[in-house]
Chains A and B, each alone.
Chain A
Amino acid sequence: MSLPYLASLALFSIGLYCILVKRDLFKVIYGICLMEFSINLFLVSLGFVTGGEVPISPTGTIVVDPLPQAMVLTAIVIEFATTVFLISVAIRLFKQYEDTDISKMRRLRG
């Protein structure tokens, strides 16, 4: 039962670890994607009902909750857009610095 939750927690932790530790810009983006996936997994598994059917023209009375699935479908599309945006910014940064090492991009320093 709690396996999907543990899996999403693990995915989230891997993503966070990736962002915190990796210095490569594209690996950071992979980390962000992993975190997004973990959230999607979490939301979908929230709607799971034991013994439930697929909510498309069900035969029985017990169906899984369709709402998180619809939400996650939307979220995936948005994630696609944000990821494309992130990558385009990353390409821009790479052209600017001629490097993908984020520890060299410190213009935000106070």
Chain B
Amino acid sequence: MEVLVHHYAPLVAIFLPILSSFFIPIIGRFHSKLGAYFATIILLITMGTSVMLLPIVLDCECLHLIYPWAEGINLQFEIYADALSVCMLLLTSFLCLLAAVYSIHYMAQKEGGARYYSLFLLLSGSMMGVFLSGNLLQFFMFLELTTISCFLLILHYQTTAALKSAYKYFIMIHLGALCLLTAIGTIYVNVGELSMASLGKLLSNVNGEWLTAAMALTFVGFGIESAVVPLHVWLPDAHSNAPCPVSAILSGLMVKIGIYGLIRFFYGIYGFPYAWGSTIIILGALTAFIGVICALVQTDAKRLIAYHTVSQLGYMIMAFGTGTTLGLAACLTHLANHTFFKALLFFVVGAVIYKTGTKDMDRLGGLRKYMPVTFICGLVASMAIAGIPPLNGFFSKGMTTQAVFEVSPVMSSIAIIVGVMTLLSFTKLLYMIFWREKSLETDKRMSMKRRIPASMKVPMIALATCCVGFGLFAHQYLEKIISPIINGLNLEGELYLPSIFMPSPLTSLSYVGIVFAGVVWLKRQRIIAIMSHKPFSALHHCFKEELGIDAAYSRLAKSVVSVFERGRSIMSGHLRDYVAYLAALLFVLFLYIALLRGFQWTF
């Protein structure tokens, strides 16, 4: 592997968006849309730089740039760009660009446009910083920057629900960041090094309690970031209350930072802990399963999609947990594919909200005739996420199932069941929003709203093209992009895709899933009738309340608050109480000194 030392593109990718985010409020004063166009141009340049980097790193070279920063503590500003980083960079800049274009009209009628675009650029720049960081502290700092800007973007509408969910996001992600910081601190104290490149070599033959603790903390930290059950409770709230382009970024990129971090830390630094493999796979399967059963019962379209994010992240965690080359390839492929179809789904729901003003599926219906382009994009995305060949989701899910099957066949059956349920819930989404006979409510609202503008259609069509294209050219994709990434992480192994024409029993099982979903679709009236009976409705309620996990967190928070409520009476507001505290402290100090000197007073 050759190392390049000079290249300006990574610096531009990080600092151009971050620095220009400060100018947006000034530019936005002249014209309301100027900020939007400016942000789009900046992101276009950023994407250009990441495209420039791609051919360099795909030849198995990597960029390692070092700038002086804090010499006293052996810390440099390091940029480390290998194939994985640059592919994530490309994905980030691509989706951020599309989301910015999408926002031009989507966010136009809402207030605070300058603030929105400013934070948007800050978020994209800091995400690039995360993906290009070459040392742990720098990684952590950019991660915090993404959290802060994302927090402010989630509460953009400033409704009570948005405030609550943004607060929840902030608290939970910060707990994760705290775990990560502790892990980084542990490593630094024990090894005295923060650079990822040298840590990989240093830690390869080190063993110790502290290393295990650091690994566990890292897993919990990134587990919160990537919403592993039971640490996922922030995700559905944050995704459903944020503006749609922000939801797309959250779901498409922010949660992927967790997966990226897991891969970077566990493959690049610690070395994969094979003893933990089965635990990680079980956690992943649990995440996938709980995500999908909660998604099945939602009536809020964005919340349904958000739960699917949890579920799909479960797939990635499962694939990651196998620890094999195929598993890692599956994880990365699914990561990229999920970005395409999940962002597309949020864009589609955003278009529906733009047109009708609601995301409540009970009030929607029959939109197929009024917004055909959106419907087709939604159909492509739903088919992709449900794993229908030849779209991209089929290949990555097939690879995941295959990789898990090689390690534990029982868990791979869960992956297949989750696949079937995903298909069912997207059948529900499409049926309720687009297909069923239109209801009156939709009609009344329809006349008030305008057509979907081209600036919203183009990103949707681009993402739908990606979903189809990466499915049709999956072999080339695996060979040209994923293989260099795997090689860049110094892993060797055979990579192969599941074929559409069933050479393995697992692929055929996904066809059984499609047939099953078809049967459910045909017998839907009958099934709805059965499901409204007692045991099922209780189960429905239970799933809708996400099995009480969220309620458990609320109870925990309340009990913590009540402890501190009791402490409030100390601050009585009476001056004499405060003076008494001071006098008591003085007395204690006096006694302490007296004890130190053994009551021997000599004047």
Contacts and interface: CB of A to CB of B under 8 A. Distances in A.
Interface of A: 1-2, 5, 16, 19-21, 28, 102-103, 105-110
Which secondary structure characterizes the binding site on chain B?
helix
Contacts of B574: 102-103, 106
A103 B573 CA distance: 8
Interface residues of B, number: 14
A109 B576 contact: no
Which of B570, B571, B579 has the most CB atoms of chain A within a 10 A radius of its CB?
A: B579
Contacts of A106: 572-574
Nearest to B568: A110
A23 to B, nearest CB: 8
Contacts, number: 36
Contacts of B573: 105-110
B569 A110 contact: yes
Given A5-B603, A20-B580, A20-B583, A110 B575 contact: no
B600 to A, nearest CB: 14
Nearest to A18: B579
A5 B583 CA distance: 19
Interface of B: 568-576, 578-580, 583, 603
A20 B572 CA distance: 14
A1 B601 CA distance: 13
B579 A20 contact: yes
Nearest to A31: B579
Contact of A108 (B571, B579, B580): B571
Contacts of B570: 110
Contacts of B578: 108
B169 to A, nearest CB: 28
Nearest to B564: A110
Contacts of B603: 1-2, 5
Contacts of A1: 603
Contacts of A103: 574
Nearest to A4: B603
A1 B573 CA distance: 42
Contact of B575 (A2, A16, A28): A28
B583 A102 contact: no
Contacts of A19: 575-576, 579
6 contacts: A19-B576, A20-B579, A102-B574, A105-B575, A106-B573, A110-B568
